[in-house]
């Protein structure tokens, strides 16, 4: 019996190992398989990676996927990133100085994998970049800013120059640093002023929600029920919307005639959309690239929708515009490898 169990275990392990796959790349700079980057942002990031390769000979690739489980992987992102890095052979074969920024969107994990030529010297710097430059933006679902800021920071750590500054003299670099500092200050000023500018709107909305309600039946002053009691007057879909924070509901009740008024307040920012069947804002979408666009042909992507209220599921297919010839990035990687160096993060 022990031998049979061992045989079955080895057989299952072999099947699991065979199930592990990796995506193939369509270019060596940006493979946005999760569809996180609009075309113009992808082109801008690609240009920075091209420039790095031409100016310093370093191969740096950005990869986004939906889930690691789509490729048969269960577990942490570290072994998957190392395996993908080596499967693609990122970086120069002699120097092993390649870099990969991998984002697993729905796993909410990311990793900066570096070539074995760096040893462990880049682990701490890559961790700082993830924690300070990438994750804060990802937590706001701002993937473009997070990826681009991460790319800029990695390039600076590797070369001592930001994109576009490789051949700049000290005065030009100082001027560029000044512009970046002003942009950074401007961003913080926006962060500080945005709540102040939004305060009048928030105050009006708060007043609107809290002002007394008069019963249309007997003219009595109505009472707003607390969260524990108002759910008794809400439908299942409305309760789901509150749980997802896509819509918040206030329930007002007349103490004399028990007349009830329900008022809805949609969230300013929500990733959930309205369901085609039940109408509630309880639908989430999952995008999968079916065929990547090239300079010769358009691509296709499928968006799978799922309503968390009525469980309706449907899919739509969209055309991905053909890439312009200026964004073409044909070629192959240089045969590099990684021994697992780098850093990881989650959001």
Query: Which tokens belong to 209?
Result: 């929600």
DSSP category for residue 276? T
Rounded to two decimals, the pTM is: 0.64
Higher pLDDT, 203 or 38: 38
What pLDDT does residue 180 have?
60
What pLDDT does residue 204 have?
74
The CA-atom distances, in angstroms, between 323 and each of 65, 286, 294, 329 are 20, 23, 5, 10
What pLDDT does residue 331 have?
77
Please return the burial class of 299, using the count of CB atoms within 10 Å of its CB with bins 0-12, 13-18 and 19+: middle
Q: Is the model's pLDDT at 80 over the cut of 90? A: yes
Query: Which tokens belong to 301?
Result: 């992507």
What pLDDT does residue 17 have?
47
Strands (E), the chain: 30-32, 60-65, 99-104, 109-114, 223-224, 247-253, 260-266, 273-274, 281-291, 299-307, 313-320, 341-346
- Structural contact between residues 64 and 2, judged by C-beta atoms closer than 8 angstroms: no
Q: pLDDT for 230-241, tens place per residue?
A: 788 999 999 999
Q: Is the model's pLDDT at 44 over the cut of 60? A: yes
Unique residue bearing structure tokens 């329900």: 262
Unique residue bearing structure tokens 């800029």: 152
* Lowest-confidence segment of 7-21, 41-55, 133-147, 201-215 by average pLDDT: 7-21
156's CB contacts (< 8 A; 6+ apart) are 162
Q: How many residues does the chain have?
A: 347
3-state helix, strand and coil shares in percent for the chain, rounded to the nearest 5: 45, 20, 35
327: confidence class by pLDDT, cuts 50, 70, 90: very low
Q: pLDDT for 123-143, tens place per residue?
A: 999 999 999 999 999 999 899
Query: Which tokens belong to 98?
Result: 């390649």
Q: DSSP letters along 20-58, please?
A: ---PPPSSSSEEETT--S-HHHHHHHHHHHHHHHHHH--
Q: pLDDT for 14-33, tens place per residue?
A: 444 457 899 999 899 999 99
The CA-atom distances, in angstroms, between 11 and each of 5, 14, 16 are 10, 5, 9
Q: pLDDT for 282-320, tens place per residue?
A: 999 888 888 877 767 888 888 899 999 999 999 999 887
50: confidence class by pLDDT, cuts 50, 70, 90: very high
Q: DSSP letters along 88-108, please?
A: HT-SBTTT---EEEEEETTTT
Cα 154 from Cα 134, distance rounded (Å): 11
Q: Is the model's pLDDT at 322 over the cut of 60? A: yes
Lay out the sheet containing 299-307: strands in order across: 273-274, 281-291, 299-307, 313-320
């Amino acid at each position: 019996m022990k031998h049979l169990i061992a045989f079955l275990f080895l057989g299952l392990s072999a099947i699991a190992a065979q199930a592990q796959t990796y995506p193939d790349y369509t270019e060596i700079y940006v493979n946005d398989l999760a569809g996180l980057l609009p075309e113009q942002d992808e082109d801008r990031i690609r240009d920075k990676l091209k420039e790095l390769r031409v100016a310093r000979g370093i191969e740096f690739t950005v990869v986004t996927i939906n889930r690691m489980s789509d490729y048969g992987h269960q577990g942490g992102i570290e072994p998957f990133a190392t395996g993908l890095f080596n499967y693609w052979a990122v970086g120069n074969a002699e120097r092993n100085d390649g870099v990969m920024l991998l984002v697993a969107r729905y796993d909410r994990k990311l990793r900066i994998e570096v070539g074995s030529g760096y040893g462990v010297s880049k682990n701490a710097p890559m961790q700082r970049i993830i924690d300070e430059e990438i994750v804060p933006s990802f937590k706001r679902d701002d993937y473009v800013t997070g990826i681009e800021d991460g790319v800029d920071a990695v390039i600076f750590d590797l070369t001592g120059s930001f994109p576009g500054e490789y051949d700049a003299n000290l005065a030009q670099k100082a001027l560029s640093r000044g512009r970046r500092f002003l942009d950074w200050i401007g961003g913080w000023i926006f962060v500080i002023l945005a709540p102040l500018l939004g305060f009048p709107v928030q105050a009006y909305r708060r007043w609107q929600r809290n002002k007394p309600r008069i019963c249309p039946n007997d003219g009595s002053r109505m009472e707003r029920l607390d969260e524990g009691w108002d759910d008794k007057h809400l439908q299942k879909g409305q309760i789901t919307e509150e749980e997802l924070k896509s819509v918040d509901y206030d329930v007002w009740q007349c103490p004399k005639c028990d007349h009830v008024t329900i008022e809805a307040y949609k969230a300013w920012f929500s990733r959930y959309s309205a369901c085609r069947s039940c109408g509630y804002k309880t639908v989430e979408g999952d995008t999968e690239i079916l065929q990547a666009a090239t300079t010769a042909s358009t691509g296709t992507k499928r968006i799978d929708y799922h309503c968390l209220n009525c469980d309706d599921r449907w899919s739509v297919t969209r055309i991905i515009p053909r890439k312009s010839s200026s964004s073409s990035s044909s070629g192959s990687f240089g045969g590099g490898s990684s021994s697992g160096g780098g850093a990881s993060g989650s959001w």
